Amino acid sequence: MRVLLVEDDDAIAEPLVQGLVKEGLDVDRVATGRAALDGREVDLVLLDLGLPDLDGMEVCRQLRARSSVPIIVLTARGEEVDRVLGLELGADDYLVKPFGFRELMARIRAVTRRSGAPEAPTTVHLGEVEVDLRARRVTVSGDEVELTRKEFDLLALLVADPGALRTRQEILERVWDAHWYGPTKTLDVHIAALRKKLGDPGLIETVRGVGFRVRS
């Protein structure tokens, strides 16, 4: 499922993107209302109201006028009048910051069930390898494989979109830290460990000088 996150605050957007990707979602993030309106079609919109160019309510209205895409408003505006206005303008749900990530995922699943949009996948199958993103479990031919936290986070990012290339910088920022300054060799060490544990060295492909992808 492809999600559009409209959020101008990097401190909020970056960890949120990481969490959504780990849940198996394909996330596009933009920081302005205009970019949200000009973006490609998605299955779900997570919309902040405090945007630098357009008011989020107006973005919600315009999105709803042209599409039935589910919209969940994520905002610090918690007054009843704001909630009512957001829902009347077409939002499917309204979540006030700060909120828990588990609650957000529950809201996403509820909205997608109601709308008929594809739900977030919880299990990814790649040959004999099965990755349960919700339970954070990996099995190979039915046998559970023990992964470290970073190994699982790395694998979850790669399997979120099989065949898609993830650059080394993107992986380091999403799995390690948005401001990673350590040696990049740690990524190669984790890739090597994953290949060994998964029993299929060709499952994770290297694109020299660029990054990695899982075989689709």
pLDDT band at residue 161 under the 50/70/90 scheme? confident
What CATH number does the domain containing 172 carry?
Answer: 1.10.10.10
Could you report the per-residue pLDDT of 61-71, keeping only the tens digit for each? 999 988 889 99
- Checking phi first, is residue 91 left (phi over 0); if not, alpha (psi -120 to 50) or beta? beta
Q: Kindly state whether residues 147 and 189 are assigned to the same domain.
A: yes
Q: Convert the pLDDT of each residue in 89-129 to its tens digit.
A: 899 999 988 888 888 998 898 888 776 655 556 788 888 99
State the pTM of this model.
Answer: 0.57
Tokens 């739900």 -> residue: 119
Residues 99, 55 share a domain: yes
- Asked whether residue 104 falls in the same domain as residue 59, the answer is yes
Same domain, 127 and 110: no
Question: Residue 27 forms beta bridges with which residues?
Answer: 3
Q: What is the pLDDT of residue 79?
A: 84
Q: Which of 115, 137, 171 is the last residue of a domain?
A: 115
176-209: pLDDT as tens digits:
765 555 566 889 999 999 999 999 889 999 999 8
Residues 148 and 91 in one domain: no
Of 90, 115, 140, which one is at a domain's C-terminal end? 115
Which of 98, 115, 132 is a domain's end point? Answer: 115
Residues 145 and 87 in one domain: no
Q: For position 110, what pLDDT does the model report?
A: 86
Give dist(CA 152, CA 139) in Å, integer. Answer: 12
- Give the amino acid at 195: R
Q: Under a CB-based contact definition with an 8 Å cutoff, are residues 163 and 213 in contact?
A: yes
**CATH number of residue 11's parent domain:** 3.40.50.2300
Residues 101 and 61 in one domain: yes
- Domain boundaries, position 175: 123-214
Dist CA 120 CA 25 (whole Å): 6
d(CA 18, CA 14): 6
Beta bridge partners of 206: 212
Specify the residue for token string 């992964």: 147
97 and 24 within one domain: yes
Mean pLDDT of 161-188: 77
Measured in whole angstroms, the distance separating CA 63 from the mean position of its chain's CA atoms is 21
User: In what order do the strands lie in the sheet containing 204-207?
Assistant: 166-167, 211-214, 204-207
User: Please, are residues 72 and 93 in contact by the beta-carbon 8 Å criterion?
Assistant: yes
Amino acid at 67: S
Task: Please spell the DSSP secondary structure of 129-166, one letter per residue.
Answer: EEEETTTTEEEETTEEE---HHHHHHHHHHHTSTT--E
Q: Helix 149-159 vs helix 185-198: angle between axes, to the nearest 10 degrees?
A: 80
Beta strands of 9-115 (E only): which ranges?
26-30, 44-48, 71-75, 93-96
Residues 6 and 88 in one domain: yes
User: How does strand 2-6 pair with strand 44-48?
Assistant: parallel
Least confident segment among 33-37, 43-47, 83-87, 110-114: 110-114
Looking at the structure, tell me whether residues 109 and 127 fall in a common domain.
no
Could you tell me if 161 and 88 lie in one domain?
A: no
Please indicate, yes or no, whether residues 90 and 139 belong to a single structural domain of this protein: no
Q: How many domains in the chain?
A: 2
What pLDDT score does 179 carry? 54
Asked if residue 111 lies in contact with residue 69, where contact means CB atoms within 8 angstroms, the answer is no
